[in-house]
Amino acid sequence: MIDALGNPQSLLVLGGSSDIATATARRLVQARTRRVVLAGRPSTRLDAAAQLLRGAGADLVEVVPFDAEVTDTHGAVVDQAFAGGDIDVVLLAFGVLGEQAAQERDPSLAVRTAMVNYVGAVSVGLHVGARLRSQGHGVLVVLSSVAGERARRTNFVYGSTKAGLDAFSQGLGDALQGSGARVLVVRPGFVRTKMTAGRKEAPMTTTAEAVAVAITEGIRSGRHTVWVPARLQQVMALMRHLPRGLFRRLAR
Amino acid sequence: MSDPARTVLTGWGRTAPTSATVLRPRDGDQVADMVRRAGPRGVLARGLGRSYGDAAQDAGGTVLDLTALDTVGVDAETGLAACGGGASLGQVMQAAIPLGWFPPVLPGTRHVTVGGALATDVHGKNHHRSGSFASHVRSMTLVGADGEARRLESADPLSQATAGGMGLTGIVTDLVMSLRPVESSFMQVDTTRAPDLDALMAQLEAADAAHPYTVAWVDCLTGGRRLGRGIVYAGDHAAPADLPEPERAAALRFEPPTGLPAPTWTPAGLLNPHTAAAFNEAWFRKAPRDRRQQLQTISTFFHPLDGVRGWNRLYGHAGFVQYQLVVPFAEGGVVRKVIERLSSARAATVLAVLKRLGASSPGPLSFPMPGWTLTVDMPARGRDLARLLDGLDQLVADAGGRVYLAKDARLRPELVAEMYPRVGEWLELRSRVDPHGCFVSDLARRLGL
Ligand SMILES: Cc1cc2nc3c(=O)[nH]c(=O)nc-3n(C[C@H](O)[C@H](O)[C@H](O)COP(=O)(O)OP(=O)(O)OC[C@H]3O[C@@H](n4cnc5c(N)ncnc54)[C@H](O)[C@@H]3O)c2cc1C
Ligand SMILES: NC(=O)c1ccc[n+]([C@@H]2O[C@H](COP(=O)([O-])OP(=O)(O)OC[C@H]3O[C@@H](n4cnc5c(N)ncnc54)[C@H](OP(=O)(O)O)[C@@H]3O)[C@@H](O)[C@H]2O)c1
């Protein structure tokens, strides 16, 4: 259960080796979280994340194979994760950035980005939503992105998948209203993780640790949206309303 | 995906909302029927929702609102009261006082059900003399996990596991308790101011020896020399001869005020540490240094907070937690340490109470033990408060004390066994009478009960 001061006891991560997820999970384990299920594609990275959380004090860390693209397995994955008891927080953290230029040359690469970031998230998100509804409590945290706020020339494939994911998550949150469960949409800007390694940093670049803090505070406060850093909310409010031509030149 | 039959529930502190299917049985047969039909997420009784945390919630399950089982029958000769499990102590007072009888134990609000009072084994201002609620309950009807209603005498181990058992042993559909005789609906109250904690503790001890009802308000915001200053209130039931002439003819009249509603909006600073400190200063100054034998109504003495309906909303959106600890008399120093930490963190609000408890009850999960009990309200403000309270828990557990589950909303589960050394015995009995965990609550899930 999530206690009166906003500390959850159990966590499911979808995309268990994500840097942002690992930082968040560690923070939760340092508070009250004792049981963690890491769902992801089997790898040494995934096992290392499990080991790190055990070291941080989790009593039980389970690793469950999960591939966002293989949607017909999602029901079973979610069942397996919930078989050990209620899950208080589900962190939907998987995602791929993709190479914009390569995706434009080879649309099948863009399809894979869309499959993981949007289709996979819709599939597993609905399975999780149904579970949280029936257990009558819990928070689904979705890693959206500022990239979904307004598509940019330089990464509009990724941006459009996040726009879809963001709209889906808001709608799911509305659907869960009154069920005791809720959805927290997280919109980070540029975060220094393995996903962005080697890319040119944007203004207001932040860290996985800062996103983790924003997520845990969002769970505590009961908000439905958080931006990281928080002042991106105003920046994006402005960006959204810029004339198309101006935005095109600014957001290169 | 919608499920219109669900209701979102919280405790009195308005934290940690979860949803359940709420049903309102009209009699014991309906209760039994609903228990038999309980789904995989179980069933739980709820009274008036005055426990502060998640004790009366069952996320995803079925919650039985027992308040329709509210019959009260008082035998004017014997002083025995037969009550439906959802009857409130306020209803008992209304039926009993005009006949010259009074509830044996009253918590700080009359808006609690007898079922809830038994399930948390509540204590009152008279605990040092009269013990806890369950010690005045003669018998009860308990609907078990099999949907069967059983009549239990108070010595029955299942009855004792139900006293303080947080609703997890079954559903109490009715009970018989013994009342105490009174001659009027007034109290004679002594009020004394104490300049610091040592004086407060000494005055409270002296008051316990002389009066059936005692309690102290304690300032948890002021540090230094005046740390733990407070006011001791000691009461006795008044005799008709103590009343002014016009009141004597109707000495047993009982008309509790309905209370004015609290404002629905919250001025943001109302309960912040600065305003609270100013309030505490004024409250302390306003109390007489030493006043004897002032006549007060029962409502004024026992239930001043009932004068403001919905006062829990004053804490706004995030809600609040109430922390109540007890430590053995020999560990009275822990009370000072706790108040020091609270005052330096400026965590507390104006509502803080110190009291001395008497003998323990037989219930394995019953809270009271001989010692000092401190109760403090705090706005539910995140990580810092979580750390502060975890630290207090450790002090309390190390001193052989415990926190009160009826108030709890955030205890670390590993500490339950330390604080309640008989929990193993209780769990063993419970797994025998309810092997499949039919009765379950959010508190039970959180603490592993
Ligand atoms: C202003 C205020 C002052 C208070 N002062 C005191 C005090 O001085 N001393 C003290 O001890 N407590 C005090 N309390 C706490 C309160 O007395 C207890 O929490 C009590 O249990 C509330 O009763 P309820 O009917 O609201 O029960 P709920 O809060 O609805 O339920 C509490 C528990 O009892 C169980 N339960 C309820 N009905 C039944 C039933 N029929 N059968 C089986 N289980 C049942 C529930 O499952 C739950 O676990 C105070 C609370 C408030 C709000
Ligand atoms: N970094 C940023 O700047 C930034 C900004 C805004 C939003 N986000 C979002 O935040 C989330 C976490 O990103 P991050 O920064 O922590 O990057 P990350 O460390 O690269 O994490 C992304 C995770 O997604 C997993 N994944 C990829 N494809 C998958 C698939 N088919 N099935 C299951 N898992 C798959 C990866 O697992 P493998 O180990 O198996 O590859 C990886 O663990 C992502 O949704 C990302 O879009 C990131």
Residue B398: Cβ within 10 Å count: 12
For residue B365, give the nearest of B449, B255, B285 by alpha carbon. B449
Q: Is A118 part of the annotated catalytic residue set?
A: no
For residue A88, give the nearest of B38, B384, B18, B53 by alpha carbon. B18
Rg (CA), chain B: 21
Of B1, B8, B15, the CB nearest to A4: B15
Beta pairing class for B6-9 and B18-23: antiparallel
Tell me which residue has tokens 């509540």. Answer: B122
Q: Residue A239 and residue A233: Cα distance in Å, rounded?
A: 10
For residue A133, give the nearest of B165, B185, B6, B55 by alpha carbon. B6
Surface of B (311-340) touching A: CB under 8 A: 317-319, 321
For residue B293, give the nearest of B191, B214, B211 by alpha carbon. B191
Active-site pick, A66, A82, A158, A168: A158
Q: Residue A188 and residue A186: Cα distance in Å, rounded?
A: 6
Nearest CA in chain A to B412: A32
Q: Is the beta carbon of A134 within 6 A of some atom in ligand 2?
A: no
Residues 6+ apart with CB under 8 A from A82: A12, A131, A135
The string of DSSP letters for B110-159 reads: S--BHHHHHHTT---TTHHHH--GGGGEEEEEEE-TTS-EEEEETTSHHH
Residue range of the domain that includes A215 = 10-250
Evaluate whether residue B381 is within a structural domain: yes
Does the pTM surpass 0.90? The reply is yes
Query: What CA–CA distances, in Å, run from A34 to A48, A54, B413?
Result: 18, 9, 11
A27 close contact with B: CB closer than 8 A? no
Evaluate whether residue A103 is within a structural domain: yes
Contacts of A134 in chain B (CB under 8 A): 41, 60
Helix orientation angle between A208-221 and B382-398, rounded to the nearest 10 degrees: 80
| Each residue's pLDDT tens digit, B403-448 | 999 999 999 999 999 999 999 999 999 999 999 999 999 999 999 9
Give me the CATH number covering residue B391: 3.30.70.2520
Give me the CATH number covering residue A147: 3.40.50.720
A137 close contact with B: CB closer than 8 A? yes
Q: Residue A122 and residue A113: Cα distance in Å, rounded?
A: 13
Tell me which residue has tokens 């092997």. Answer: B435
Query: How many domains is chain A built from?
Result: 1
Beta-bridge mates of residue B8: B19
CA–chain centroid gap for B304, Å, is 14
Residues 6+ apart with CB under 8 A from B263: B314
Instruction: Measure the N-to-C terminal CA separation of chain B; round to a whole number of Å.
Output: 31
Q: Which ligand is nearest to the CA of B61?
A: 1
A1 close contact with B: CB closer than 8 A? yes
Instruction: Measure the N-to-C terminal CA separation of chain A; round to a whole number of Å.
Output: 44
Q: Are B168 and B56 in contact (CB under 8 A)?
A: no
Evaluate whether residue A1 is within a structural domain: no
A154 to chain B nearest CA, in Å? 38
B225 to chain A nearest CA, in Å? 32
Evaluate whether residue B119 is within a structural domain: no
Nearest CA in chain B to A181: B18
Of B6, B54, B380, the CB nearest to A5: B380
Nearest CA in chain A to B389: A5
For residue B64, give the nearest of B26, B125, B22, B116 by alpha carbon. B22
Q: Encoding tokens for residue B419?
A: 């604080």
Query: What CA–CA distances, in Å, run from A148 to A133, A188, A236, B8?
Result: 27, 10, 10, 32
Supply the pLDDT for residue B263: 64
Beta-bridge mates of residue B189: B235, B294
Evaluate whether residue A161 is within a structural domain: yes
Q: A247 burial class (0-12, 13-18, 19+ CB within 10 angstroms)?
A: middle
Evaluate whether residue B263 is within a structural domain: yes
DSSP character at residue A110: H
SS3 content of chain B, % helix, strand, coil (to 5): 35, 25, 40
A177 close contact with B: CB closer than 8 A? no
Query: How many domains is chain B built from?
Result: 1
For residue B98, give the nearest of B297, B299, B252 by alpha carbon. B252
Residue to substitute from B15, B43, B44, B449, interface A, most A β-carbons within 10 A: B15
Per-residue pLDDT tens digits of chain A, which is 252 residues long: 999 999 999 999 999 999 999 999 999 999 999 999 999 999 999 999 999 999 999 999 999 999 999 999 999 999 999 999 999 999 999 999 999 999 999 999 999 999 999 999 999 999 999 999 999 999 999 999 999 999 999 999 999 999 999 999 999 999 999 999 999 999 999 999 999 999 999 989 999 999 999 999 999 999 999 999 999 999 999 999 999 999 988 877
Tell me which residue has tokens 């809720």. Answer: A182
B339 to chain A nearest CA, in Å? 21
Tell me if B410 and A7 make a contact (CB, 8 A cut-off).
yes
Of B2, B41, B53, the CB nearest to A4: B53
Residue to substitute from A3, A131, A183, interface B, most B β-carbons within 10 A: A3
Evaluate whether residue B314 is within a structural domain: yes
Evaluate whether residue A128 is within a structural domain: yes
Evaluate whether residue A4 is within a structural domain: no
The alpha carbon dihedral of B198, B202, B205, B207 has a sign of negative
Supply the pLDDT for residue B5: 82
Query: Do the interacting molecules here have an ipTM over 0.90?
Result: yes
Evaluate whether residue B100 is within a structural domain: no
Q: Residue A196 and residue B226: Cα distance in Å, rounded?
A: 57
Q: Which ligand is nearest to the CA of A159?
A: 2
Q: For a ligand 2 pocket test, name from A13, A20, A215, A226 the mutation site with the most ligand atoms within 8 angstroms of its C-beta.
A: A20
Q: Residue A144 and residue A142: Cα distance in Å, rounded?
A: 6
Evaluate whether residue A29 is within a structural domain: yes
Q: B232 burial class (0-12, 13-18, 19+ CB within 10 angstroms)?
A: buried
Q: Residue A198 and residue A179: Cα distance in Å, rounded?
A: 43
Contacts of B317 in chain A (CB under 8 A): 222
The alpha carbon dihedral of B113, B119, B122, B128 has a sign of positive
Of B15, B319, B386, the CB nearest to A31: B386
Q: Give me the residues of chain B with pLDDT under 70, please.
A: 1-4, 263-273
For residue B270, give the nearest of B223, B313, B323, B227 by alpha carbon. B313
Q: Residue B136 and residue B154: Cα distance in Å, rounded?
A: 9
Tell me if B18 and A180 make a contact (CB, 8 A cut-off).
yes
H or E segment and range at residue B190: strand B186-194
Q: Encoding tokens for residue B433?
A: 């009478």
- Residue B135 phi/psi, 5-degree rounding, is -70, -5
Q: Which residues line ligand 1 (CB under 6 A)?
A: B 12, 44-51, 55-56, 66, 85, 107-109, 112-113, 115-117, 119-120, 122-124, 166-167, 171-172, 305, 406, 441
Residue range of the domain that includes B218 = 186-410
- Residue B259 phi/psi, 5-degree rounding, is 90, 145
Evaluate whether residue A5 is within a structural domain: no
Evaluate whether residue B4 is within a structural domain: no
Supply the pLDDT for residue B2: 45
Supply the pLDDT for residue B265: 56
Q: Which ligand is nearest to the CA of B88?
A: 1
